[in-house]
Amino acid sequence: MARLLLTYVLLITCFILGGCVDDRWQRGEFDAYVPIYDNDPALKSVSYLPPRKTQHGGKLYTYGTYLLQEETDSGLHIISYQDPAHPVKTGFLRIPGFHKAAIENGYLYADNFDDLVVIPLNDLPALTRVGRVPRTWTSRDFPPYRHVYFECVDPSKGVVVGWRKTKVNNPKCRVMSSYYFDYGEERPRFSAGIVVRNNYLYLADNSTLVSYAITQPLAPVLKQRLETSWIIDSIYALNGQLAVSDVKYHGTNLYNINDAGDIIIHTDLDLSSCQLLLAKGQYLYTVPNPARNSCYPAPLHGMTVYEMDANSAATERFNLPFDTTYTMALTGNHLYAGTLKGISILDVSAPPAVTRFADKAADAYTDIMITGKYLYCRSKTAIDCYDISVPAAIQFISKLAY
């Protein structure tokens, strides 16, 4: 009787915790994934090449009078804005397997497949000094699918550049369903972002937050690896803290990074991970992110302003009906939003209230960057440059078509 009662208790506990998982390991020959390797040394070689046509232009980065634009999976276009009216491509920084970067104190930190590379930008076009940390990211060590078995990765065979399904006899690795959520086919990003602050570098590796000391920029030293238990979608600096959003369910958490590179959980913002966030002081400006969907909880419509208390708990204070927004940037008391209609300039000088200050009709901008009095805006076909010296009447300066 006692044994039967114990069985019932275990079953009830199992259901309460969300269901039992059949953990039996399948044996024999069946469909599984095997890694596709490439052992060409050029895949881990960074080089400076002549300018080339933009094929799949992505995120923008700034360095002095230069703008760097991502070319998905292959590197960065180097664009000189020394004369903003006549931007010129000066070269292409080839970084195979590139997805994300950060620029700090003249150094570019970027992913080169699973390695972290550090490049002194003032040395370009020469590349005589390139720092490298091998195997910083392990995202490519498993196929980006749920409920699958696969052949374990052997780094000695080269770089994993893809996966193919085939018959495998007794595969020794698998991706469990518990690693992903129970709805949708979510794939972790190979690089969720890179943040540099106070001589420390922070990045995400699958579900792990990682910090490096970069007192010597060309020789990063591992400081900490902190498991979060969820798949990290993006990380970014927010009011001197590290904001971490997961793929779908857990939303956004803040981590304290003020203690010499240590990453310490601080608070749950209780906001959907499907939002773009921008902070000024204790106020947080958010809009739904059109690149995300099926998030829980669903983000509020329009622009919502939250006030964060001393413990960074967020309370909604103001809501403004607003256009679909892809990107935001802030300088002084003006917030610039890249929308379906162009640019909207908002006055945030009297928080939590937000006033729609001016609009500039243009293409739909999916990325914007501000350097001094210049605003750079990326659309699907070009990079536009504006003079924002007078926020209510920004002036178009140039267009660099792809």
Structure-block tokens of residue 317: 């204070």
Residue 347 placed within a domain: yes
pLDDT for 295 beyond 70: no
Determine what percent of the chain is predicted with pLDDT higher than 70: 86
Residue 6 placed within a domain: no
pLDDT for 347 beyond 70: yes
pLDDT for 162 beyond 60: yes
What is the spatial distance between Cα 26 and Cα 8, in angstroms, rounded to a whole number?
27
* Residue of 387, 366, 361 whose CA lies nearest to 378: 366
Long-range contacts of 372-376 (CB under 8 A, 24+ apart): 374/81, 374/84, 375/329, 375/336, 375/343, 376/60, 376/62, 376/67, 376/81
- Tell me if 162 sits within 8 A of 140, measured CB to CB: no
Please state the pTM of the whole predicted model.
0.85
Residue 33 placed within a domain: no
- Phi, psi (5° rounding) for residue 104? -150, 130
Q: Average of pLDDT values for 387-401?
A: 96
pLDDT for 271 beyond 90: no
Q: Average of pLDDT values for 272-301?
A: 78
User: pLDDT-based confidence at 230, cuts 50/70/90?
Assistant: confident
pLDDT at 98: 93
Query: Residue 328: beta bridge partners?
Result: 337
* Residue of 234, 335, 322, 199 whose CA lies nearest to 279: 335
pLDDT at 21: 45
pLDDT for 140 beyond 90: no
pLDDT for 19 beyond 50: no
Structure-block tokens of residue 30: 């069946």
What mean pLDDT value characterizes the chain? Answer: 86
Report CA-CA distances (Å) from 68 to 48, 77, 90, 92: 13, 5, 10, 9
What is the spatial distance between Cα 155 and Cα 141, in angstroms, rounded to a whole number?
9
pLDDT for 305 beyond 60: yes
H-only helix segments in 100-176: none
Residue 320 placed within a domain: yes
User: pLDDT-based confidence at 318, cuts 50/70/90?
Assistant: very high
Q: Give Cα 61 to chain centroid, integer Å.
A: 13
| Domain extent for 295 | 290-402
Residue 85 placed within a domain: no
- Tell me if 236 sits within 8 A of 196, measured CB to CB: no
What is the spatial distance between Cα 17 and Cα 182, in angstroms, rounded to a whole number?
14
pLDDT at 297: 57
pLDDT at 176: 67
Q: Which residue has the tokens 């829980």?
A: 296
Q: Average of pLDDT values for 165-171?
A: 93
User: pLDDT-based confidence at 262, cuts 50/70/90?
Assistant: confident
Residue 393 placed within a domain: yes
pLDDT, one tens digit per residue, over 93-113 is 999 999 999 999 999 999 999
User: pLDDT-based confidence at 375, cuts 50/70/90?
Assistant: very high
DSSP-based three-state secondary structure for 245: strand
Strand ranges of the sheet holding 66-71, from the earlier edge strand across to the other edge: 47-49, 88-94, 75-80, 66-71, 57-63
User: pLDDT-based confidence at 268, cuts 50/70/90?
Assistant: confident
Residue 315 placed within a domain: yes
Q: What is the CATH number of the domain that holds 387?
A: 2.130.10.10
Element (H, E) at 244: strand 241-246
Residue 100 placed within a domain: no
What is the spatial distance between Cα 159 and Cα 44, in angstroms, rounded to a whole number?
9
Residue 11, CB half-sphere, CA atoms under 13 Å: how many?
6
Give the lowest-confidence range in 39-53, 228-242, 309-323.
Answer: 228-242
Q: What angle do CA 341, 76, 399 make, to 5 degrees?
A: 40
Number of domains in the chain: 1
pLDDT for 63 beyond 90: yes
Q: Average of pLDDT values for 111-138?
A: 94
* C-alpha torsion sign, points 388, 390, 391, 392: negative
DSSP code of 193?
-
pLDDT for 183 beyond 70: no
Q: Average of pLDDT values for 37-53?
A: 92
Q: Average of pLDDT values for 4-10?
A: 44
Q: Average of pLDDT values for 74-88?
A: 97
